Amino acid sequence: MTGSTDDALAHVSTYSAPSDLKITDIRFADIVGAPMQCSLMKVYTNQGLVGYGEVRDGASKTYALMLKSRVLGENPCQVDKLFRRIKQFGGHARQGGGVSGVEIALWDLAGKAYGVPIYQMLGGKFRSRVRMYCDTDNNGRTDGASMGEALKRRMELGYTFLKMDLGVSIIIDQPGALSAPLGFLDELRGHSRRLGPNPTAEERRWQRNRAYDVFNVAHPFTHIHVTEHGLDLLEQYVADVRSVIGYEVPLAIDHFGHIGVDDCIKLARRLERYNLAWLEDMVPWQLTAQYVKLSAASTTPICTGEDIYLKENFRPLLENHGVSVIHPDILTSGGILENKKIGDMAEEYGVSMAVHMAESPIACLAAVHSVAATNNFIALEYHSVDVPWWDDIVSGLPKPLVNQGYIEVPERPGLGIEALNDEVIREHLSSTVPGLWESTSQWDGEWSNDRLWS
């Protein structure tokens, strides 16, 4: 026998004893402008390891706080066991943010405890770098040429896959472009302003109340119809974009506005000649029959999924051939493992997966690990190309994190994040929720009988 015990231990990670790891605390910091409002999360343990998670943009961190008492004292390495305990407290859209964010932090801790990147615990990776598709908001652009120039600048940064907005908002002020019950479009125009980066509580109440009156009218019930003139304008917009960026780069389209499925079909048929990657969220995801009708009526791929929670809720769209692309968000779908399961299920139906992401680098890297381990992946959304401090939220990773349109899959343990940058976070704290990693002890004893069966 050669060498000594000390020599052997030099090659073994002794930083953590995974079987003895216990969760001791969960704390938060709310930031704005990345580009959305995000609640960053730290999950603390008895061994000094800290796991990072995040609640989805626009969601209350209460969705995560209510889970604290259910995971305190538990071993975070038992990810699936704890996920099954807490998943009943999640829901579609932003309501899935608490469960998903905690699940991400559990994987981060497990990876750190065992000294391996998360993708390795998912079965290994299919790719060493992840393609990012660059989303570009409309930002008041009413002509396709200016949007085309904005997208061309993205291509010059190395992006090989693009997405833009198209829909009612572009033509709402054009005479004769839309028809609707008289007065409804005026309501929509008057209440469509966006809130600033740090809205007051009163402004938030205003937005919520107006949303129920105007914005939360689902697509089939608005009775907004696009006229032939409106269709001409929207088609010309896309034609002008393509004239600037060319036809080789994939271009997806989102944010059509709340129009019914028949108008969506008319528009989809008009846009077929422009070689689009997909048309996204044209109608609410729950309306499976309408997605089947839409997909059967157009040769352009149809896509949805960012508001769907848990794998089983994607199944109706897949079984009925309602989509060609699924598009979950890691902070709604249920987290890292559930997201991979969704992709694997879609692959069985011949459907590929893109992933929505408009959050901080924490959620971004969680998605990177998940899609690195998923075979049928296309591209991951990047919504922060114009946020210069986005990369600075985290340390220990290459800068820029997104380089020439890709992210290298990290090889460091867990998510790959060395630390969070409190100085940067403090500069961008929400004015309505300004605390930085403050005590959440008031949630330690929250209790209920959570069993779903007798």
User: What pLDDT is stored for residue 404 in this prediction?
Assistant: 97
Do 260 and 390 share a domain, yes or no?
yes
Min mean pLDDT across 117-121, 192-196, 240-244, 331-335 is at 192-196
Please check the confidence at residue 43 and state whether its pLDDT lies above 70: yes
Do 396 and 437 share a domain, yes or no?
no
- At 202, is the pLDDT very low, low, confident or very high (cuts 50, 70, 90)? confident
- Supply the DSSP string of 94-119, one letter for each residue: GGGHHHHHHHHHHHHHHHHHHTSBHH
Sheet holding 23-31, edge to edge: 23-31, 38-45, 50-55
Cβ pair 296, 325 in contact under 8 A: no
Do 94 and 140 share a domain, yes or no?
no
User: What pLDDT is stored for residue 390 in this prediction?
Assistant: 96
User: What pLDDT is stored for residue 186 in this prediction?
Assistant: 80
User: What pLDDT is stored for residue 379 in this prediction?
Assistant: 98
**Mean pLDDT across the chain:** 92
User: What pLDDT is stored for residue 259 in this prediction?
Assistant: 96
Domain count, the chain: 2
- At 225, is the pLDDT very low, low, confident or very high (cuts 50, 70, 90)? very high
Do 147 and 47 share a domain, yes or no?
no
Do 112 and 147 share a domain, yes or no?
no
Do 39 and 180 share a domain, yes or no?
no
Instruction: List alpha helices for 298-360, DSSP H.
Output: 315-319, 336-348
User: What pLDDT is stored for residue 412 in this prediction?
Assistant: 97
- Distance (Å, whole) CA 133 – CA 145: 20
Residue 48, H or E segment: none
Do 96 and 186 share a domain, yes or no?
no
Classify residue 298: in a domain, yes or no: yes
Per-residue model confidence as pLDDT tens digits over 345-385: 999 999 999 999 999 999 999 999 999 999 999 999 999 99
Q: Which residues contact 72 (CB under 8 A, 6 or more apart)?
A: 23, 24, 25, 444
Which residue range forms the structural domain that includes residue 106?
A: 15-116+433-443
Classify residue 122: in a domain, yes or no: no
Residue with tokens 């979950």: 328
- Distance (Å, whole) CA 242 – CA 301: 18
Do 61 and 204 share a domain, yes or no?
no
Please check the confidence at residue 10 and state whether its pLDDT lies above 60: no
Can you give the CATH number for the domain in which 49 is found? 3.30.390.10
User: What pLDDT is stored for residue 58 in this prediction?
Assistant: 81
Classify residue 241: in a domain, yes or no: yes
The pair of structure tokens assigned to 124 is 């290994």
Residues 278-285 have a mean pLDDT of 98
Do 70 and 209 share a domain, yes or no?
no
Residues 178-197 have a mean pLDDT of 74
Classify residue 198: in a domain, yes or no: yes
Classify residue 421: in a domain, yes or no: no
Do 67 and 177 share a domain, yes or no?
no
Per-residue model confidence as pLDDT tens digits over 291-328: 999 999 999 999 999 999 999 999 999 999 999 999 99
User: What pLDDT is stored for residue 183 in this prediction?
Assistant: 83
Do 168 and 85 share a domain, yes or no?
no
- Distance (Å, whole) CA 264 – CA 245: 24
User: What pLDDT is stored for residue 200 in this prediction?
Assistant: 75
The whole-model pTM stands at 0.92
Amino acid at residue number 107: W
Residues 196-220 have a mean pLDDT of 70
User: What pLDDT is stored for residue 9 in this prediction?
Assistant: 45
User: What pLDDT is stored for residue 1 in this prediction?
Assistant: 44
Classify residue 231: in a domain, yes or no: yes
Classify residue 349: in a domain, yes or no: yes
Do 270 and 348 share a domain, yes or no?
yes
Residue 75, H or E segment: none
Please check the confidence at residue 219 and state whether its pLDDT lies above 50: yes
Per-residue model confidence as pLDDT tens digits over 92-111: 998 888 999 999 999 999 99
* Angstrom distances, CA of residue 103 to CA of 41, 96, 97, 204, 319: 11, 11, 10, 29, 27
Residues 196-200 have a mean pLDDT of 68
Per-residue model confidence as pLDDT tens digits over 135-168: 998 887 889 999 999 999 999 999 999 999 999 9
Classify residue 2: in a domain, yes or no: no
Please check the confidence at residue 191 and state whether its pLDDT lies above 80: no
Residues 17-32 have a mean pLDDT of 95
Can you give the CATH number for the domain in which 258 is found? 3.20.20.120
Residue with tokens 């209460």: 62
Amino acid at residue number 321: H
